[in-house]
Amino acid sequence: MTGHMTETPCLQIDAFTDRPFRGNPAAVCLLDDEGDPAWMQAVAAEMNLAETAFVRPLDDGFELRWFTPTLEVDLCGHATLASAHALWQEGIVGDRHPIHFHTKSGILSCTRQGALIELDFPATPVAATDAPAGLCSALGVEPVFVGRSKFDYLVLLESEAAVRAVQPDFRLLGEVATRGIIVTGVSAEPGIHFVSRFFGPAAGIDEDPVTGSAHCALGPFWGERLGKATMTGLQASARSGIVRVRLAGDRVVLGGQAVTVMKGVLTGISA
C-alpha cells in the first residue's frame, strides 16, 4: 500500500453478543497485502471504535493487528472474535475450518462450535501487588484485592453492586501507567459467575464495553477462587456482553457470539 487509491472491505461487528447494538463494536478491515502502520492508525482514529482490526492472508493463516484510536495493542479479544466472524461470514474461510491468526501475542486459533466462536488465547494470570498511586482514589473505591497481569491492574470489589456503582475520574485514572484497569466482583445473577468492567483511558478508551483479553486474567483469577474451570462472565458496561471462559493450562478459551451491523468499503489514499 503505497500512496494509491484503494478500496478495502470493512465491516463493523458487535462482538460477545447475539444482538445488534450490544456487546463491543469492532471494525474489521480485510487487506490484500501489508498495510502501513501509520495508515492503519489513521484508519483506527477515523473509525473511533475501541478497536479496529486489520486482517491479511498469509500462507498458513492470517496476520491480525489491532489498533485503538491512539495506539497499536498486543492483544484484543473482541476484535479477534469479530475478525473470525468476518472471515467465515464473507466466505473467505469455510464454516468448518479453524482460523489461525499470527499476532503480536503469538498464534491465536479460532473455531466454531455452533453459534459460538471459541478463541484460544494465552492466560495472563494475576499476581498480588500494591495499588499504584492514585488508582483507588481515581476509581473511588476501597478494594478487597489489587493485582497485576501482564497488561492490566485488577481490582476486586466486595460485590456486583459495587462494581456497577464505580464512577471513575478518567483524567486521574489515565495517569496510572498501565494498559487498563479491570474492576471485578462475584456475580449476584444465576448462571453468571463474575462481573467486570474495564477502563483504559491511557489507551484512549475510557470504558471498554466488553474486553475479551481481560478475561485471560479474569479466568484464572476467578477459577482459583471459585474452584471452576468453566465459567461465564458478564461485563457490566452500558452495552454489556457475555464471555464464556474455559481454563486449559496456560491457555484460556474464550467463547462468544458476534453480529455484523454494517458492511461497506473503506475508500481513501493508502500511506
DSSP states along the chain: --SSEEEEEEEEEEES-SSTTSSEEEEEEE-SSPPPHHHHHHHHHHHTSSEEEEEEEETTEEEEEEE-SS-EES--HHHHHHHHHHHHHTTSS-TTS-EEEEETTEEEEEEEETTEEEEEEE----EE-PPPTTHHHHHT---SEEEE-SSEEEEE-S-HHHHHH----HHHHTTSSSSEEEEEEE--STT--EEEEEEEGGGTEEEES--TTTHHHHHHHHHHHHT-SEEEEEE-SSS-EEEEEEEETTEEEEEE-EEEEEEEEEEEE--
CB contact set of 212 (below 8 Å; sequence gap of 6+): 15, 16, 76, 77, 78, 80, 81, 119, 121, 243, 254, 256
Positions marked catalytic: 51
Q: Is 249 left (phi over 0), alpha (psi -120 to 50) or beta?
A: left
Query: Rounded CA gap, 59 and 80, in Å?
Result: 19
